[in-house]
Amino acid sequence: MKTTIPSGKQWICTFPGCTESSPKTHYNCYSHVWDAHLRHIISFQTIGFKKAPSYKKLPDRKAVRKLCESYMQKLNKSQSYDFNTPNPLTNSNCLMLDTKTPLNNCLFDSEELIITDKQLTTQTLNIQNGSSFSPLVQQFDWNINQNSEYNTLPSIPFIQIEILQNALKRLHVAGEILAENGFLQRSDSKLKTSIEPLTNSLQQLLKLVGVQYNYKEDNTVKYGFIAQEVNKTCPELAPNGTSLDVVGILPIIIESLKEINLYINDTSEIKQQITIILEYIDSIKKCIENTEEKQQPITQSHKFHFSVGPAVLTAPLAVGTTAISIWTIFALPKLPGIWVLLFITSACLWVSFWRTRNEIHKNIKNVKLYWTTDNTACLWCLLFLTLLSVSVSLVMGVVGVIICVCGIIVVGLVIGIARWAPKKYGCTLEIVLTILVAFMVLFFLIIGGMLLAQPGFECYLNGNHSEMTILLKQNITMEQLGVNKLPWNCWSDNLLVYGTLPTGISIGHDETPYIYGKVEIPFEDTKVDIYVKCVDAIKFYCSTVNFKYEA
């Protein structure tokens, strides 16, 4: 609501945040600006100053008037004004924290920046009166930075009070504070809530980094922290990232010292545990040394030694196998593969006996039979050679050779892995032998199946494997019925005829057996089955032939 100006009252206060904006006389306006505002800025009882006198009691008002005039405005009588609205807090002399509160929530420095037409000039207020002012205060320099008091540190010290709440204020001093009796901080538990003990204080303390620095335009070396770094670790200690609550670090230090003290107290128990552990380690080392000493002869004895078995067993076996191998030459002349196998077996038995011949004297007096892993390995080798010999001798064609080659490759891989695996995975000879025995069983089944199936050869008569009819005329030689090429390992072959051939028809043999001849007399029709027999053991069906007489 706008009102007219009363007669004689043409001055108002323009101090930022002032709520008393009614027109006043020239004198009353001076008195109001000084008593209500400026007087309190330059005389803070809270920092040791005596209270400045009121405007009435000032002995010299000249300097004070110059200060007050910066916050006074003369009104025009011909205009109407609205005096119900408080002054806005836009003056750069006042740093506002809360726009809803008046001057009480503003920050003031101990130097005043006088603003005229938005230009900043610095004015120094000198008040000299020893009876009215404290001797500690002879000069007041009041200067407020227009941009931000925190951006740079002014060369001239200043004092600032930041009123956070009605009953909570913060003192900001650009300089140092000297207190003869120290500082007290209220710490009444009745005024606190959510009280909890600190945890992980030592970890927080270790993250704090102390630095050495000096302020700009000041070469004095100082020690402290960087607020921005502390804000990352302990944001409660540096809430705005530019200032630091140094006192708040004390609880963290104290709790950290407690944690360190706790660790120190536990050191004795740790030392005892370490002593016990060292004793255990020493005993383990001694056990390892003793075990290694005992294992040296065992390791040497566990090295592979070729032996088929105890000497008391290998001696008679060697004699018997030698006799059998000689007999086989005459009994099985068509199986040279078996000859070779028996000769190799006999040689192995004799070598085994010769290596263990010293056991004869001991075992005669005190018979003790044994069986070692080496014996199993040697016996396995002999059995494997036996299967290879059987495959080559009795499985006709290249199939037997393929089986032998595959078996040798697999065994070679297993033995190669057996030499490498113990170093990497701790694989023992027993495990390797178990794998080889399992392979031996599989190899035996495969060879048995091949013996029955004989997939490597199929017999034909003149290229015919099915039943065929041959017409014979009297005194005319028949066309030869020849068997196809025999396998390479069919070292001896016979042509078997199940049935009666006509008179004059017989079996001949060149590279392969064949049927030939001529009939001289008539005969009744006859039917015969033709087979080829290899190495006196394996026979193959060739064909069925019907012989008919044609007149």
- In the 8-state DSSP scheme, what is residue 166? T
The two three-digit tokens of residue 258, written as one number: 């407690």
Q: Are 534 and 486 in contact (CB under 8 A)?
A: yes
State whether residue 50 is helix, strand or coil.
Answer: coil
Q: How far is CA 478 from CA 323, 340, 517, 522, 549, in A?
A: 50, 43, 6, 14, 12
pLDDT tens track, the chain, 551 positions: 566 677 778 899 988 878 887 888 989 999 998 988 888 776 543 334 456 788 888 888 888 888 898 888 888 877 777 777 666 654 433 333 333 333 333 323 333 333 333 332 333 333 333 333 333 233 333 333 333 344 444 444 567 777 766 667 777 777 778 888 887 888 888 888 988 898 888 888 898 999 999 988 788 898 999 999 999 888 888 888 888 888 888 999 999 999 888 888 777 778 888 888 988 898 888 888 887 766 655 444 445 566 677 777 788 888 888 888 888 878 777 677 777 778 888 888 888 888 877 776 665 556 566 667 777 777 788 888 888 888 888 888 888 889 989 988 988 887 777 777 665 666 676 777 788 888 888 988 998 899 889 898 999 998 888 899 999 988 888 988 999 988 888 877 788 999 989 989 999 888 888 999 999 888 889 999 999 988 878 889 999 999 998 87
Predicted local confidence at residue 1, as pLDDT: 57
3-state secondary structure of 80: coil
**Residue 209 burial (10 A CB sphere; 0-12, 13-18, 19+):** exposed
Collect all residues with Cβ–Cβ distance below 8 Å to 506 and sequence separation of at least 6: 515, 516, 517
What domains can you pick out in the chain, each with its CATH number? Answer: 2-173 (no CATH), 197-265 (no CATH), 311-453 (no CATH), 468-550 (2.60.40.10)
> pLDDT at position 446, please?
92
Give the pLDDT confidence score for residue 2 in this predicted structure.
Answer: 61
Please answer whether residues 344 and 316 qualify as being in contact, where contact means their C-beta atoms are separated by less than 8 angstroms: no
Alpha carbon distance 384, 437 (integer Å): 10
Going by the DSSP 8-state scheme, the letter that residue 194 receives in this structure is S
Q: How far apart are CA 534 and CA 393, in angstroms?
A: 10
The pLDDT assigned to 327 comes to 84
